[in-house]
């Protein structure tokens, strides 16, 4: 397949080098068309070496070949990554003031934009209007990832991982052989998937609560991958920040909750209609026996004694209700103990809960919570035995891809 890879002038251009490599490894012909600004981040020799084809940025380059028309005409797919706010605006306006813009004007094949920019640029009404217009015209605009941006800022606007870009882009080409799609783009087609994300909070009074440090990033990343694999996804979000949820907003059904009891109620309500249930939320095991009506005050030099009662075991209850008809996957964030390793505690939890599989990650010294990277082991239960299915390390998006591909294989054929 002939693929044109447009590169706009953003610092994320360096990650697109790996997109070229992945496409070439799958046997595609790749022609890189950068803007002049893009060459300030990654030079023409790099693009030519990776793609094996010449690079042109101006409509007056190689005029005798009429490149500003022929490159777009010969393309089976156009990918623009990163698609900056400026590039999206020029594409929406139909400008043809450089080689990439002209190529977009003449291309009749699927066009995929992969935005990457600062959060405020992405959320600006002008950019959102440009994206909506391009989509209305038939273009495909991939949602940006959420995470660390240039400098100290964090939020939606980060370029998705190269493997995710490739899979999303190739999935937009009708009739493309399944071997070129890496076999995952429709692995969960029309499957009803329920995912819990975040961490529950148990109020002590109108101000304070008992909670944990889960950000919900892993659950949201799992939802993104499930959506890309064709699933219908519901996410029960326990105290997940808006910027974390942004990548799935409008694509998944989001149900906000606060407490463990609220989460339990929604899990039961949505579990009946779901074929795959993934419990990624960090759930409080206990809640205060009483919630103070007013903010609690210090009294002298005395400490405070809290009376706690046990919360329902949501995962175990879901297994009891739906374990015979649904594929249920638990999560275990373990620190280990003096007597047991984190891995052994996770395996014990899998047998104790009775779910089909369990995703384990170590959180010793606060690792993983709120980070963009993680490392997991997926365990599978076979009666009273536990076996390791797969290990994965990398960004939470990359790990989610491995987890979802493994879990999809557990669903009834």
At residue 300, the pLDDT reads 74
Token pair 């870009």: residue: 165
Mean pLDDT of 158-165: 90
pLDDT tens column, 231-267: 999 999 999 999 999 989 989 999 999 999 999 999 9
Burial environment of residue 60 by CB neighbours within 10 A (0 to 12, 13 to 18, 19 or more): exposed
Q: Does 342 carry a binding-site annotation?
A: no
Q: Is 349 known to sit in a ligand binding site?
A: yes
Residue of 204, 185, 205, 278 whose CA lies nearest to 236: 278
* Residues in CB range of 170: below 8 A, 6 or more apart: 26, 77, 176, 180, 181, 182, 185
Model confidence at 376: pLDDT above 80: yes
Q: Is the pTM of this model over 0.85?
A: no
Beta bridge partners of 33: 6
Asked whether 333 and 368 are in contact (CB, 8 A), the reply is yes
Is residue 144 over pLDDT 60?
yes
Both tokens of 31, joined, read: 């022609």
Q: Are 386 and 350 in contact (CB under 8 A)?
A: yes
Strands 327-334, 308-310: pairing kind: unpaired
Annotation marks residue 242 as catalytic? no
pLDDT tier, 369 (very low <50, low <70, confident <90, very high otherwise): low
315 annotated ligand-binding residue: yes
Q: Domains along the chain?
A: 2-171 (3.40.50.1950), 192-409 (3.40.50.10300)
**CB count in 10 Å sphere of residue 283:** 23
Residue 45 has pLDDT above 60, yes or no: yes
pLDDT band at residue 179, thresholds of 50, 70 and 90? very low
Instruction: Pick the range with the lowest mean pLDDT from 330-339, 369-378, 388-397.
Output: 369-378
Report CA-CA distances (Å) from 253 to 133, 196, 234, 408. 23, 12, 5, 20
Q: State the Cα–Cα distance between residues 413 and 402, nearest whole angstrom.
A: 19
Q: How far apart are CA 82 and CA 87, in angstroms?
A: 9
* Between residues 61 and 209, the one the model is more confident about: 209
Residue 298 token pair: 């210090």
3-class SS at 191?
coil
Question: Per the annotation, does 243 bind a ligand?
Answer: no
Q: 360 labelled as ligand-binding?
A: no
Residue-by-residue DSSP string for 90-101: HHHHT--SSHHH
Dig out the tokens for 374 from the structure: 């993680």
**Burial state string for 5-31 with b = 16 or more CB within 10 A and e = fewer than 16:** bbbbbbebbebbbebbebbeeeebbbb
Q: Which residues contact 113 (CB under 8 A, 6 or more apart)?
A: 80, 81, 83, 87, 88, 91, 131, 134, 139, 140, 141, 142
> Where does the pLDDT of residue 7 fall: very low under 50, low under 70, confident under 90, or very high at 90 and above?
very high
- Does 295 count as an annotated binding residue? yes
Q: Does 353 belong to an annotated binding site?
A: yes
pLDDT of residue 287: 95
3-state secondary structure of 386: strand
Q: Exactly one of 212, 239, 311, 361 is catalytic; which is it?
A: 212
pLDDT value at 105 more than 60: yes
d(CA 277, CA 125): 36
pLDDT for residue 25 is more than 50: yes
Average predicted confidence (pLDDT) for the chain: 88
């Amino acid at each position: 397949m002939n693929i044109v890879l447009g590169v706009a002038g953003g610092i994320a251009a360096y990650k697109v080098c790996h997109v070229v490599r992945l496409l070439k490894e799958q046997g595609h012909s790749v022609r890189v068309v950068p803007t002049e600004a893009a060459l300030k981040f990654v030079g023409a020799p790099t693009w030519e070496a990776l793609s094996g084809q010449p690079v042109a940025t101006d409509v007056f380059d190689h005029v005798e070949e009429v490149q500003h028309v022929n490159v777009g005409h010969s393309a089976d797919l156009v990918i623009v990554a990163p698609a900056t706010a400026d590039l999206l605006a020029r594409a929406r306006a139909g400008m043809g003031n450089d080689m990439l813009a002209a190529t977009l004007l003449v291309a009749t094949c699927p066009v995929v934009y992969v935005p990457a920019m600062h959060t405020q640029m992405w959320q600006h009404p002008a950019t959102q209007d440009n994206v909506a217009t391009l989509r209305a015209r038939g273009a495909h605009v991939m949602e940006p990832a959420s995470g660390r941006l240039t400098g100290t800022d964090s939020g939606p606007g980060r370029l998705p991982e190269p493997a995710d870009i490739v899979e999303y882009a190739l999935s937009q080409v009708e009739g493309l052989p399944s071997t070129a799609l890496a076999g995952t783009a429709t692995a969960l087609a029309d499957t009803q998937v329920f995912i819990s994300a975040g961490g529950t909070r148990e109020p002590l009074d109108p101000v304070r609560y008992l909670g944990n440090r889960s950000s919900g990033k892993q659950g949201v990343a799992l939802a993104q991958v499930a959506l890309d694999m064709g699933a219908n996804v519901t996410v029960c979000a326990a105290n997940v920040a808006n910027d974390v949820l942004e990548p799935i907003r409008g694509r998944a059904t989001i149900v906000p909750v606060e407490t463990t009891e609220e989460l339990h109620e929604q899990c039961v309500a949505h579990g009946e209609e779901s074929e795959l249930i993934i419990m990624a939320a960090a759930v409080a095991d206990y809640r205060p026996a009483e919630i103070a009506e007013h903010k609690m005050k210090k009294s002298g030099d005395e400490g405070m004694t809290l009376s706690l009662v046990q919360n329902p075991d949501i995962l175990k209850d879901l297994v009891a209700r739906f374990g015979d008809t649904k594929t249920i996957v638990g999560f275990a964030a373990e620190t280990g103990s003096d007597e047991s390793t984190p891995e052994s505690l996770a395996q014990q939890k899998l047998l104790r809960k009775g779910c089909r599989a369990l995703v384990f990650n170590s959180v010793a010294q606060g690792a993983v919570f709120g980070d963009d990277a993680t490392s997991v082991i997926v365990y599978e239960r076979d009666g009273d035995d536990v076996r390791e299915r797969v290990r994965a390390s990398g960004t939470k998006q990359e790990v989610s891809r491995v987890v979802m591909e493994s879990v999809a294989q557990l669903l009834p054929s």
